A and B are shown apart, each in its own frame.
Chain A
Amino acid sequence: GESVGLHLPTLSVQEGDNSIINCAYSNSASDYFIWYKQESGKGPQFIIDIRSNMDKRQGQRVTVLLNKTVKHLSLQIAATQPGDSAVYFCAENQAGTALIFGKGTTLSVSS
Chain B
Amino acid sequence: GAGVSQSPSNKVTEKGKDVELRCDPISGHTALYWYRQSLGQGLEFLIYFQGNSAPDKSGLPSDRFSAERTGGSVSTLTIQRTQQEDSAVYLCASSSGQGAYGYTFGSGTRLTVV
Contacts and interface: CB of A to CB of B under 8 A. Distances in A.
Q: Do the two chains bind?
A: yes
Interface string A25-56: 00000001010100001111110010000000
B41 interface: yes
A104 B42 contact: yes
Interface string B87-107: 000010100001111111111
Contacts of A34: 102
Given A98-B59, A98-B99, A43 B42 contact: no
B107 A42 contact: yes
Interface residues of B, number: 25
A49 to B, nearest CB: 6
A89 B43 contact: yes
| Interface class of chain A by DSSP | loop
A101 B99 contact: no
Interface residues of A, number: 24
Interface-centre pick from A43, A96, A99 (highest chain B CB count, 10 A): A43
A99 B45 contact: yes
A45 B43 CA distance: 13
Contact of B48 (A49, A89, A98): A98
16 contacts: A36-B102, A43-B4, A43-B105, A46-B102, A89-B42, A95-B98, A95-B99, A96-B98, A97-B99, A98-B45, A98-B59, A99-B33, A99-B99, A101-B44, A101-B45, A103-B42
Interface of A: 32, 34, 36, 41-46, 49, 89, 91, 93-104
Nearest first, the 8 closest Cβ-Cβ pairs linking A and B are: A43-B105, A46-B102, A101-B43, A103-B42, A98-B48, A101-B42, A93-B99, A98-B45
